[in-house]
Structure 1
Amino acid sequence: MYVCLCHGVTDRDIRAAVCNGATRMRDLAKELGVATDCGRCACAANQLRKDTLLQISEPELAAA
Structure 2
Amino acid sequence: MIVCVCHRVSDRDIRAAAASGCPDFDALQDELRVATACGACRECAQACFATAPGPKAERGAGAAPVWGLRPVPA
TM-score normalised by structure 2 residue count: 0.68
State the SS of the aligned residue for 1:23. coil
| Paired residues of 1:23 and 1:49 also in contact (CA < 8 A) | no
User: Which ranges in structure 1 are unaligned for 5 or more consecutive residues?
Assistant: 58-64
Question: Larger helix proportion, structure 1 or 2?
Answer: 1
Q: Equivalent residue for 1:48?
A: 48
- Letter in structure 2 aligned against 1:7: H
Which residue does 2:27 correspond to in 1?
27
User: How many Å apart are 1:14 and its aligned residue?
Assistant: 0.3
Could you tell me the TM-score, scaled by structure 1's length? 0.78
Q: CA deviation at 1:56?
A: 4.0
CA contact (8 A) 1:2 1:10 kept: yes
Q: How many residues align?
A: 55
The percent of aligned pairs where both chains have the same amino acid is 44
Deviation at 1:24, TM superposition (A): 1.0
Determine the structure 1 residue equivalent to 2:38.
Answer: 38
Alpha-carbon offset, residue 23 of structure 1: 2.7
> Shift in Å at residue 50 of structure 1?
0.8
Q: Alignment RMSD, CA only?
A: 1.3
Runs of 4+ in 1 over 2 A off after TM superposition: none
